[in-house]
Amino acid sequence: TARVETLEFQSEARQLLQLMIHSIYSNKDTFLRELVSNASDALDKLRLEAFRDKELRVDTDDLHIAIESDPENRTLTVRDNGIGMTRDEVVALIGTIAKSGTAEFLRKLKESQDAAGSQDLIGQFGVGFYASFMVADRVTLVTRRAGADEGVRWESEGAGTYTIEPAPDAPQGTSVTLHLKPENAEEQLHDYASRAKIVEIVRRYSDFITWPIRVPAADGGEPETVNSRKALWARSQSEVTEEEYTEFYKHVSHDWTAPLETIRIAAEGTFEYQALLFIPERAPLDLFMRERKRGVQLYVKRVFIMDDCEELMPEYLRFVKGVVDAQDLSLNVSREILQRDRQIQLMRRRLVKKVLSTVKSMMADKAEAYETFWREFGRAVKEGLLDDFENRDAILEICSFPSTHDAERQTTLAQYMERMKEGQEHIYYMTGDSRVALENSPHLEAFQSKGYEVLLLTDPIDEMWVGAVPEFDGKQLRSIAKGEVDLDTEEEKEAAKQREDEFADLLAWLRTELAETVKDVRLSARLTTSPACVVGDTYDLTPNLEKMYRAMGQ
C-alpha cells in the first residue's frame, strides 16, 4: 500500500558505513552519546524556532529525550520530541555526508594500513549517526518535522541502500530504533538492551545535557530522569571533573578525541557571561577550506541561540570550540545586533586574549602540548599576524619557526633573541618553498659562516605576514635575500672597499653587459663557496613572492 522507495547512500556515506559495520572503532558505547547528542541538538533547534516564529504549530510543553529498550526483541530506541526532519532532510542529512573534507578523510583512511592509525582518524572525523551501525544490524528512524502533517520512516541495514516511506502517524520529533547485533548480547559488557548499561552510559557521556533524559524505572514504572542536567559552565570549576569537560567538548565539537586544553572564563558585573572554551588536539579537516566554520556557540541564559558564532571568535582562532553563555542579551538577539553590540566586542576581546594567554602558559608548562598545538594550528594562528593588529605581539610570542639553529626543533622569537650575537641588530629570516631549498641557497652562506641564526620560513602564509610585521621586541625582522646586509667589522669594510676599487673595471663591464636583466652588480661579502647570487632590493618583493606573482600571471 505505502509508497516505499529504495535509495542508495552516497558513496562516501557507504564507505563510512562499511567501517562502522566492521566496527573499527573500539569504544562502541559512544553510539549512544551520538544519538543523545543529536536529540539534544534537535530540541535546541525546536525551542529556538518556536521562540522566533510564534505562529508555528508545535508542541514545546514537555521537551525531553526518552531511551527505551526491549530485551526480548533486542531493540533500543532513542526518542526526542524536537525539530524532526522532512523527507528531503532525511535523504540529505542521513543518506549523505555533507561534511567538507570527507573524501580527503577516506583517502587517508585507505592509506593508513594499521588499525591504530584508522582509529585515530575515525576519532578525528566523528561519525555521528552512523555510529549506530557499530552495534545494530538494522536501524529504523521515524521522524516528523515540527509543524508538518506527515512523518517519514527510514530504515537501513547499512549496506548500500535504505528505504524511505511515509509515516502518517509519526509524533513530532525523531525516534531511532536500533536492532541490536546478536553478538553484543553474549558479551555482558555490550548488552545495550540492559537498563543498567544504558543508565551507566548516559551518566558517563551525557550527564550535562540540559534536556531531561528519561529511562523507564527499573520496576517498569514511571520513567526517571537519569542525567543531572547541569550546565558545566555554570558549575564551579572545582566541581567539574576532567572527564565531564571532555564529554561536553565531544558534544559541542562533534569531535571524538579529548581536547588539548580547556579554558574557563566568568565575567560578572554589568555584562555577565560565562565561557567554556576548548582547544582541540587535532585540526579539523576543513581548517583551510572555504566552507569552514567557527566553533563557538552562543547561549543566552542557558538557552542555545546559535552555532558557529563568528562575532565571538576571530577567523584565525576558528578552531577554538565551546560555549559562551551571556546573561544580559535578549533571546531574540540576531547576528546584526551582535555585530553592533559593544558588550559583545568587549567580550570577544577578552576571549581572544584569554586564548592567546592560555597558549602562552602552555609553552611554559606543557611543552609537548604546545608543540601539538603549533603543529596543528600554527598556520591558522599566523593569519592573525595580518588580521589582528591589537594582539600582534601576543601572537608573535606564541609563534614558533624553523631555524638554522636546530634542524629538528622550531624556535620562538624570544629564544632566537637570547641566542643573538653580540651587536646583532636584526632578526634574520629567509622565505622559500622548503627547508632544503633554503639551506642550499647561496644567500645563507655568509650568515652561516659568521654564525648568525636565520629563521627558515616555508609556509605560504609566512610570505604574507613578514611584510606586515615590522619588529618583535624592538628588533626588526630582516630578509637575508634582500638588500645589503652588513655583517662586517671595520677592517672587513676597509678590505671590501679596496676590493671594490680593484674590481671596478670588471663591475662596470658586467653592469653594461647585464643591463637588461639586473639593476646593479655588486661585490658581495655574503658568499663563501658560490661564485655569484641574485638578490632583491630591500623594498622589492622577496624572490619567493615574485615567483608567486609570476605564476599568477602578474
Does the annotation list 101 as a binding residue? yes
- Type of residue numbered 119: Q
Stretch that binds ligand ADP, among 79-87, 239-247, 361-369, 515-523 (CB under 6 A): 79-87
The residue among 308, 295, 317, 432 whose CA lies nearest residue 373 is: 317
65-85 core/surface letters (b: 16 or more CB in 10 A; e: else): bbbbbeeeebbbbbbbbbbbb
User: In this chain, which of 101, 128, 295, 314 binds ligand ADP, going by CB under 6 A?
Assistant: 128
| All cell numbers assigned to 543 | 624572490
Is 306 one of the binding residues for ligand ADP (CB under 6 A)?
no
x-marked contacts with ligand ADP along 251-290 as a string, rule CB under 6 A? ---x------------------------------------
Is 39 one of the binding residues for ligand ADP (CB under 6 A)?
yes
Return the residue nearest ligand ADP (CB atom).
128
Nearer to ligand ADP among residue 15 and residue 358 (C-beta): 15
Does the annotation list 95 as a binding residue? no
Is 122 one of the binding residues for ligand ADP (CB under 6 A)?
no
The residue among 459, 352, 344, 428 whose CA lies nearest residue 395 is: 352
Restricting to residues 158-197, which ones interact with ligand ADP according to CB under 6 A? 174
Stretch that binds ligand ADP, among 31-39, 51-59, 269-277, 537-545 (CB under 6 A): 31-39
State how far the Cα of 48 lies from the Cα of 211, in Å rounded to an integer. Answer: 14
State how far the Cα of 95 lies from the Cα of 89, in Å rounded to an integer. Answer: 9
Nearer to ligand ADP among residue 141 and residue 525 (C-beta): 141
Is 128 one of the binding residues for Mg ion (CB under 5 A)?
yes
The Cβ-side half-sphere exposure at 27, using a 13 Å CA radius, reads 15
User: In this chain, which of 13, 63, 85, 198 binds ligand ADP, going by CB under 6 A?
Assistant: 85
Restricting to residues 2-41, which ones interact with Mg ion according to CB under 5 A? 38
Q: Exposed, middle or buried: residue 483 (CB in 10 Å: 0-12, 13-18, 19+)?
A: middle
Q: How far is the CB of 34 from Mg ion (least distance, A)?
A: 5
State how far the Cα of 24 lies from the Cα of 137, in Å rounded to an integer. Answer: 15
Nearer to ligand ADP among residue 85 and residue 265 (C-beta): 85
Does the annotation list 271 as a binding residue? no
Nearer to ligand ADP among residue 247 and residue 388 (C-beta): 247
State how far the Cα of 341 lies from the Cα of 117, in Å rounded to an integer. Answer: 46
Is 151 one of the binding residues for ligand ADP (CB under 6 A)?
no
State how far the Cα of 418 lies from the Cα of 340, in Å rounded to an integer. Answer: 44
User: In this chain, which of 13, 36, 42, 66 binds ligand ADP, going by CB under 6 A?
Assistant: 42
User: In this chain, which of 83, 213, 285, 338 binds ligand ADP, going by CB under 6 A?
Assistant: 83
User: In this chain, which of 20, 25, 32, 34 binds ligand ADP, going by CB under 6 A?
Assistant: 34
Is 32 one of the binding residues for ligand ADP (CB under 6 A)?
no
For residue 163, the 8-state DSSP code is E
- Check the CA dihedral 229-234-239-240 and report its sign: positive
Stretch that binds ligand ADP, among 78-86, 324-332, 374-382, 408-416 (CB under 6 A): 78-86
State how far the Cα of 424 lies from the Cα of 414, in Å rounded to an integer. Answer: 14
Kindly give, in sequence order, each residue whose CB lies less than 8 Å from that of residue 135, ignoring residues fewer than 6 positions away.
28, 31, 178, 180, 181, 184, 190, 192
User: In this chain, which of 30, 32, 74, 80 binds ligand ADP, going by CB under 6 A?
Assistant: 80
The residue among 41, 331, 29 whose CA lies nearest residue 211 is: 41
β-strand partners of 279: 261
x-marked contacts with Mg ion along 37-76 as a string, rule CB under 5 A? -x--------------------------------------
Restricting to residues 476-535, which ones interact with ligand ADP according to CB under 6 A? none
Does the annotation list 430 as a binding residue? no
State how far the Cα of 431 lies from the Cα of 483, in Å rounded to an integer. Answer: 15
The residue among 294, 295, 290, 293 whose CA lies nearest residue 278 is: 295
Nearer to ligand ADP among residue 83 and residue 164 (C-beta): 83
Asked if residues 144 and 151 have their Cβ atoms less than 8 Å apart, the reply is yes
Q: How far is the CB of 80 from ligand ADP (least distance, A)?
A: 5
Under the rule (CB under 6 A), what is the footprint of ligand ADP? 34, 38-39, 42, 80, 82-85, 93-94, 128-129, 174, 254
Under the rule (CB under 5 A), what is the footprint of Mg ion? 38, 128
